[in-house]
Amino acid sequence: MSERAGYEVGYDAAGQVRVERVTEPVAAEGGQPPVAFGDSPRSISGKMMTEGAAADGMGCHAPAEKMQAAARAAGNGDVLDQFARDYPRGPHDKPESMCPAFGSLRVGLRMRRVATVLSGSACCVYGLTFVSHFYGARRSVGYVPFNSESLVTGKLFEDIREAVHDLADPDRYDAVVVTNLCVPTASGVPLRLLPKEINGVRIIGIDVPGFGVPTHAEAKDVLAGAMLHYARAEIEAGPVPAPVGGKADRPTVALLGEMFPADPMMIGAMLAPMGLAAGPVVPTREWRELYAALDSGAVAAIHPFYAASVREFQAAGRPIVGSAPVGVDGTHDWLAAIGETFNVNPAQIAAAQNAFVPAVRGALAKAPVRGRITRSGYEGSELLVARLLIESGADVAYVGTACAASPWSKADKEWLEARGVVVKFRASLADDLAAADGLDPDLVIGTTPVVQHAKERAIPSLYFTNLISARPLMGPAGAGSLGEVVNAAIAGKARMDGMKEFFEGVGAGDSAGIWQGTPNLRPDFRALNQKKLDKAARAARAEEMI
Ligand code: SF4
């Protein structure tokens, strides 16, 4: 058995954070490094690092077709075909935001008593662990390094298996999740051959390549779906433990999609008049919740892109309801759809609607929004937020989402299009920027590059993930939650103009910054370099044809 080094951060049985020194301390200034498994010659250093980098020639910047061809040749064709069915592609064929694997990594890191191990290039793992700790992960990420030799000889798989055996301590973990990133997926490292369970600890191996999973949102579904699949097989095999808090006394609705913590409570309150309760939110925070989710009477696909999870729920015989109780129309229609799914008496459905729809209307009236807005994002709730903004009085001209269209977003799309909104699924960054430039918005709500683009043009803008997505959206609580932040941003137009004026003349692009003289731009050098790159690309294409 190999030795692990460093600190291990996790939860104890009571859910408290526990930090343990494993063997030798490692320099961890400023954050937790990934915990590396494997013999010391395979550590991220010296010669091995160089070889690892060579094996890493296929990454985000490699042509997706090449990566796909390699993965198929390595026996991963079925996985790619399933991804293509679950996550249909759009205009862009590779991630335009962060690495997709961040989505599944985050889902694993947020679950109690679950260990996560990454298998991939050191640079990918560095970026993923950095971002996960930036977003407050409270435990270590396991890492099995590789180099060209261990990849091609199959030693990497042996190292992963050894790491999994090292980790599988039932006192600490319910499950260990191992994720193949791009290069191990393209090389066919067969995680499916890992033991399904060691000492009672479930082992879950998933492939999350950037050339197969288009967004990090959909990568959440890859892990959530794999866990539901495992839990469903356990249920079929025999009795499973009840939820920690006991079984609900009413039929429940499982909620699909990460949402603001108060939203499930609001949904529960709206379901109560129909004799129903809110079930677990999937992705779940602990293993047992998976059983309770599968035991729910129906599933609300609040975020509409969870294709693999929906497949598992449908295999368990659970009906799926799309859209969400957002705004006046959304709340009215969603309560009716849920009530009909459970065959609730129409009078009870009407009671729920009468209790909450007027409250939503009242909350919207108290926080009106005036102005033209474009909005884009990759969370899955883009269409729902647009509905809420429109019912608040905003003129929403464009909604772009990085996710694909699905049956569960159909009602939202139709509602928006009936009000003249351009809805773009699988929107590219170019689409979002064109909308921000061409539709003369008073406010742009979007991803980091879209917000940056808008700010450079003195258009008020809000970063969707931190400022909008982190607010309640459902029922009366969500109805008034956006007005304040949106109106404050729109009112900041004069400040944006002032900043633009202040920075006027400091240059842009190559010449941005403070210069003592005029920047020495050499477009001729750039043209020459471009010629060389074009020539190399032509040579590579010609080689491919031979
Ligand atoms: S794992 Fe993520 S960061 Fe690494 S090459 Fe693939 S998409 Fe890029």
Supply the CATH number for residue 93's domain: 3.40.50.1980
Domain end residue (candidates: 195, 214, 233): 214
Token digits of residue 69: 């061809």
Distance 210 CA to ligand 1 centre (A): 6
Domain end residue (candidates: 331, 360, 389): 360
What is the CA angle 442-445-448, rounded to 5? Answer: 125
Residue 478 lies in a domain: yes
pLDDT tens string 249-261: 899 999 999 999 9
Distance 20 CA to ligand 1 centre (A): 30
Same domain, 177 and 75: yes
Residue 18 lies in a domain: no
Token digits of residue 149: 């030799």
Distance 380 CA to ligand 1 centre (A): 21
181 lines ligand 1 (CB under 6 A): yes
pLDDT tens string 490-510: 999 999 999 989 888 777 777
Q: Which residue has the higher pLDDT, 503 or 97?
A: 503
Q: 3-state DSSP call for residue 479? A: helix
Token digits of residue 206: 């998933």
Total of domains in the chain: 3
Distance 125 CA to ligand 1 centre (A): 9
- Model confidence at 92, pLDDT cuts 50, 70, 90, reads low
482 in Cβ contact with 386 (< 8 Å): no
Can you give the pLDDT at residue 59?
62
Distance 38 CA to ligand 1 centre (A): 22
Range of the domain at 264: 252-360
DSSP string, 346-368: HHHHHHHHHHHHHHHHHHHHHS-
Pocket test for ligand 1, best of 56, 58, 60 (most atoms within 8 A of CB): 60
Domain end residue (candidates: 360, 381, 402): 360
Pocket test for ligand 1, best of 94, 105, 121, 218 (most atoms within 8 A of CB): 121
- Percent of the chain exceeding pLDDT 70 equals 86
* Burial class for 157, CB neighbours closer than 10 Å (0-12, 13-18, 19+): buried
Same domain, 344 and 478: no
57 pLDDT above the threshold of 60:
no
Pocket test for ligand 1, best of 94, 124, 187 (most atoms within 8 A of CB): 124
Nearest Cα residue to atom 8 of ligand 1? 60
Q: How many CA atoms lie within 13 A of 466 on its CB side?
A: 8
Can you give the pLDDT at residue 272?
97
Over its C-alpha atoms, the chain yields an Rg (Å, rounded) of 25
User: How are strands ordered across the β-sheet holding 277-282?
Assistant: 277-282, 252-256, 298-300, 320-321
Same domain, 168 and 36: yes
60 lines ligand 1 (CB under 6 A): yes
- Mean of pLDDT values over 293-322: 97
Beta-carbon neighbour count of residue 424 at 10 Å?
Answer: 21
| pTM higher than 0.95 | no
Token digits of residue 510: 């190559």
Token digits of residue 223: 């892990």
**What is the atom index within ligand 1 of the atom nearest the CA of 95?**
7
9 pLDDT above the threshold of 70:
no
Pocket test for ligand 1, best of 99, 146, 208, 222 (most atoms within 8 A of CB): 99
Can you give the pLDDT at residue 8?
55
Nearest Cα residue to atom 3 of ligand 1? 124
Write the CB contacts of 191 (distance below 8 Å, at least 6 apart in sequence): 119, 160, 178, 180, 205, 206, 207
Residue 318 lies in a domain: yes
- Model confidence at 197, pLDDT cuts 50, 70, 90, reads very high
DSSP code, position 307: H
Which of 84, 160, 159, 156 is CA-nearest to residue 116? 160
7 pLDDT above the threshold of 60:
no
Same domain, 476 and 387: yes
The average confidence (pLDDT) of the chain is 86
Same domain, 383 and 342: no
Residue 541 lies in a domain: no
Can you give the pLDDT at residue 417?
95
Residue 32 lies in a domain: yes
Nearest Cα residue to atom 5 of ligand 1? 59
Pairing of the two strands 372-377 and 320-321:
unpaired
103 lines ligand 1 (CB under 6 A): no
Residue 10 lies in a domain: no
* Separation of alpha carbons 75 and 77, rounded Å: 6
Nearest Cα residue to atom 4 of ligand 1? 124
Same domain, 329 and 442: no
151 lines ligand 1 (CB under 6 A): no
DSSP code, position 243: P
384 lines ligand 1 (CB under 6 A): no
Can you give the pLDDT at residue 18?
58
Pocket test for ligand 1, best of 83, 96, 182, 215 (most atoms within 8 A of CB): 182
- Lowest average pLDDT, out of 335-339, 402-406, 413-417, goes to 402-406
Token digits of residue 328: 């006046």
Same domain, 431 and 493: yes
**What is the atom index within ligand 1 of the atom nearest the CA of 208?**
1
DSSP string, 388-451: HHHHTT-EEEEEEESSPP-GGGHHHHHHHHTTT-EEEET--HHHHHHHHHHS--SEEEE-HHHH
DSSP string, 201-225: EEEEEEE--TTT---HHHHHHHHHH
- Model confidence at 295, pLDDT cuts 50, 70, 90, reads very high
Same domain, 180 and 79: yes
Same domain, 404 and 307: no
Write the CB contacts of 162 (distance below 8 Å, at least 6 apart in sequence): 1, 2, 37, 38
Which of 78, 113, 13, 34 is CA-nearest to residue 22? 34
Residue 394 lies in a domain: yes
Alpha-helical runs (H) found in 215-315: 216-237, 262-271, 287-294, 307-315
Query: Facing residues of 143 across strands?
Result: 36, 118
**What is the atom index within ligand 1 of the atom nearest the CA of 209?**
6
Same domain, 353 and 372: no
Same domain, 144 and 163: yes
- Mean of pLDDT values over 334-341: 98
- Model confidence at 480, pLDDT cuts 50, 70, 90, reads confident
99 lines ligand 1 (CB under 6 A): yes
- Model confidence at 3, pLDDT cuts 50, 70, 90, reads very low
Residue 1 lies in a domain: no
Phi and psi of 352, rounded to 5°? -65, -45
Same domain, 455 and 473: yes
Report CA-CA distances (Å) from 161 to 136, 144, 156, 170, 395: 28, 10, 9, 17, 55
Token digits of residue 89: 């592609």
148 pLDDT above the threshold of 80:
yes
Report CA-CA distances (Å) from 354 to 270, 335, 359, 396, 502: 10, 11, 9, 28, 53
